[in-house]
Chain A
């Protein structure tokens, strides 16, 4: 099956610093990837749609200047949390789908971010 990886799996940073999270599709090309955030005991909340070669589309309420998304190739999307604050601490998960099989999303293992 299709595999999506994320790096790092967990990161701890100081308040005010920036953190980059990578999402890779390992055995397929993904023109579109998605970024979700999940707080403890909560469900996944869609943050943005990442499109290869173009600007990301952000969901309402998500600050695009704080959560920078770059989809530089068909297998890599990155999410940068800029000037992170403790309230940004969360579980960040990306997903991707196979072209022609857009109904099935393959999720990465997630990145646990803790901002001190």
Chain B
């Protein structure tokens, strides 16, 4: 059965303290790994899609990388506004929009 596991469950960083979030997956025939940001009481906001091992994508202070077994979301010099829950997801079945989500990492960045 496909599995997506995220760690840590929660992470507290001081502003400017870089770190990484992990998403490990067991999926046969990966057709993409997705990262989303979710603020409290809101729907997820799309960040990145990664398709193959070795691929990297960046957006402002965020960089996502992918290996054959896991993905990392690196946060460089985070700011308080980066506080959110970060979710990773993989497609289930043949329909790309059917996503299996991990439980997320709740990131808190304090000044």
Name the interface residues of B41-70: CB closer than 8 Å to any CB of A. Answer: 41-46, 49
Beta-carbon contact of A102 and B41 below 8 Å: no
Note all chain A residues with C-beta closer than 8 A to B102: 43
User: Is B97's beta carbon under 8 Å from chain A?
Assistant: yes
Q: How large is the interface on B (under 10, 10 to 19, 20 to 34, 35 or more residues)?
A: 20 to 34
Note all chain A residues with C-beta closer than 8 A to B34: 103, 105
Beta-carbon contact of A109 and B97 below 8 Å: no
Note all chain A residues with C-beta closer than 8 A to B28: none
What 0/1 pattern do residues 6 to 19 of B give for CB contact below 8 A with A?
A: 00000000000000
What 0/1 pattern do residues 81 to 106 of B give for CB contact below 8 A with A?
A: 00000010100100111111111100
Most buried by A among B34, B43, B44: B43
Question: Among the listed A91, A103, A110, which residue makes an inter-chain contact with B96, where contact means beta carbons less than 8 Å apart?
Answer: A103
